[in-house]
Amino acid sequence: MIFKVAYQKGNRTSIKVQDGDKEIWMGCPKNVYSWCKKSFKEGDEVTVEYTVNNGQYKATRVEGINSKSTTSTPKNDKPKEATTTKKYTNYNSGEYMKRKCPEESAQIRALSILSSVCSAIQTLTGQIDVNSMGDVIESLYDRFDKKLP
């Protein structure tokens, strides 16, 4: 790979490398960024250790090739944190509406009733006493609960 540039904007640091015809931006920790900034110039040949998570590249180590002295970023001795990938739901497919278990069905039902009660309470603002608000909420919940199938 060929090193292009080390870039920092705010707290985000990244490097740009060229792999064949493809230019790749990689996020990196600050120690990798500062190492690249002081050690490499555009066009230097480097070896980059990186990970790919959801299409995002993250450089973890950069070493120089064919330079006067082989340079590399200092090893990061911090233990790696477990990475979690976020599962995105396609709301257009309707899959999220399918109930997975009876407990989830009951929870969805209760939340939709509470949402309806909150909407109804907003229309009654100023017409009911604040001290009796809890009783009104409970009675509305019971009424909506009886009306839903």
pLDDT in tens, the chain (149 residues): 888 888 888 888 988 998 888 888 888 888 888 888 888 888 888 888 888 888 888 888 888 876 543 445 555 555 555 566 666 656 565 565 566 677 777 887 888 888 888 888 888 777 777 788 888 888 888 888 887 76
SS3 per-residue string spanning 108-137? HHHHHHHHHHHHHHHHCCCCCCHHHHHHHH
Q: Pairing state of beta strands 46-53 and 22-27? A: unpaired
β-strand partners of 53: 56
26, 36 contact by CB (below 8 A): no
Helix (H, G, I), strand (E, B) or coil at 48: strand
The whole model's pTM is what? 0.44
Task: State the amino acid at position 89 in one-letter form.
Answer: T
